[in-house]
Amino acid sequence: MIFSVVTGGAGFIGSHLVDALVGRGERVVVIDSLAAGSRDNLGKHLDEGLVTLVEADLLGDGWQRSLAGATRVFHLAADPDVRQSAIAPDSQIRNNIMGTYRVLEAMRVHRVGEIAFTSTSTVYGEAAVIPTPEDYTPLEPVSVYGASKLACEALISSYCHSFGMKAWVYRFANIIGARSGHGVITDFIRKLREDPEVLEILGDGRQSKSYLEVSECVRAMLYAVDNAPSQYNVFNIGSEDWVDVRRIADIVVGEMGLTGVKYRFTGGERGWVGDVPRMQLAVDRMRTLGWKPEIGSAESVRSAVRAMLE
C-alpha cells in the first residue's frame, strides 16, 4: 500500500488532495498546525480511521517521526497570503522556506524518496511571455511569497540531486473552490454580504488571470505523480484561458441573486503591492504528458462561487 504524508492536508487544496488519496486506497497521514486548516475538512476520514492527523507546526519538533516508512510527501503547508507578505514578510520566510527545509531534512533522515510540492505562478513575476511556459526566464518574483516559493523550488532541486530524491513541483494558477478561505471570490462574497449595494474592487478591475477549480487541480497533481518519471519535474497547472476581476464580480453578484450592485474601484493596474496584473500559464508540458483541463476560468469561477455559497 502506498503511504502518503500530506503537510497542510487540513487546508483548502490539501484536504481535497486527501479526499483523492483516500479514494485511491492509500494510507494517509496529515501534518497540519490547524492555523489555517480545519479538522472539519478531514472529518469523515478521521471518523472512519482512514486518515491520521498529526497536529503540529513544521517549525517545531516531534512530527518528523510520522514520515517513517512513507512512500512520498505532498508538501502543501505554507503561508499563502501574497498581500500580507508585502507588510510582514517574516511569516512567509519562516513558514515557507524554513518549513520546506525541515520537511526535506526529515525526509532525508527517514529515507523518504519522493516529494510533490505546491509552488505558484508568482515565481515568474511579470512575465513578458503569456501564456508562460515552465522554461521561461528570468524568474524575477515581485512578491515575497513568490520569492519564498522559488527558494523552496531551489532547495528541493538541490536535495533531489544531492540525496537521490525525486520531485514533482507544481506551479499553480489561481486554484479555487469549496473550502477556500481567501482570495478574490471569498473577498467579494464577504463584502456583498456586508453591503449588497456597493462592491469595492481592488485595482481597476482589468486584472486578468487564469483560474482552475480545485478538483481539476488535484487530478493534475496525481496525474503527474503517476506519469512523470524524471528525477525533478516542474509543471504548470492551470486553465487555458483567463478571466478579469470585473467578470468575476459579475459572476459572484449573479450567483448571489443580487441586482443593481454598483462597483467602486480603488484604481491602478494592481490590486495590491506584489499583485501580477496579467497571468496565464502554458500547460503544454502537462498536455504532452496526457492531462488537459476539462473546464476554463469562467466556469471554474462559477463552480467555485456556487460551492462556497453552499
Q: Please give the pLDDT value at position 83.
A: 72
Mean pLDDT, rounded, of the chain: 96
Confidence check: pLDDT of 130 > 80: yes
pLDDT in tens, 9-36: 999 999 999 999 999 999 999 999 999 9
Q: Are residues 147 and 290 in the same domain?
A: no
Q: What is the pTM of this model?
A: 0.95
The rounded distance, in Å, linking the Cα atoms of 228 and 143 is 30
3-state secondary structure 55-74: ECCCCCCCHHHHHCCCCEEE
Active site residue 145: yes
Residues 54 and 108 in one domain: yes
Same domain, yes or no: 266 and 160:
no
Do 98 and 170 fall into the same domain? yes
Total tally of structural domains belonging to the chain: 2
Task: Catalytic residue, from 124, 145, 159, 211: name it.
Answer: 145
SS3 33: coil
Q: Which positions ≥6 away from 154 have C-beta within 8 Å?
A: none
| 50 & 23 share domain | yes
- pLDDT of 82 reads 72
State percent of the chain over pLDDT 90: 91
Same domain for 85 and 202? no
Same domain for 120 and 192, yes or no, is no
Q: Is the pLDDT of residue 244 over 80?
A: yes
Same domain, yes or no, for 111 and 36?
A: yes
Let me know whether 152 and 257 are in one domain.
Answer: no
Domain of residue 73, residue span: 3-175+212-237
Give tens-digit pLDDT for 165-210.
Answer: 999 999 999 999 999 988 899 999 999 999 999 999 999 999 999 9
> Are 267 and 296 in a shared domain?
yes
Q: Tell which residue, 158, 169, 33, has the closest CA to residue 104.
A: 158
CATH of the domain at 202: 3.90.25.10
Tell me, what CATH number does 222's domain have? 3.40.50.720
Answer yes or no: do 46 and 60 share one domain: yes
pLDDT of residue 271: 86
Mark whether 256 and 159 lie in a shared domain: no
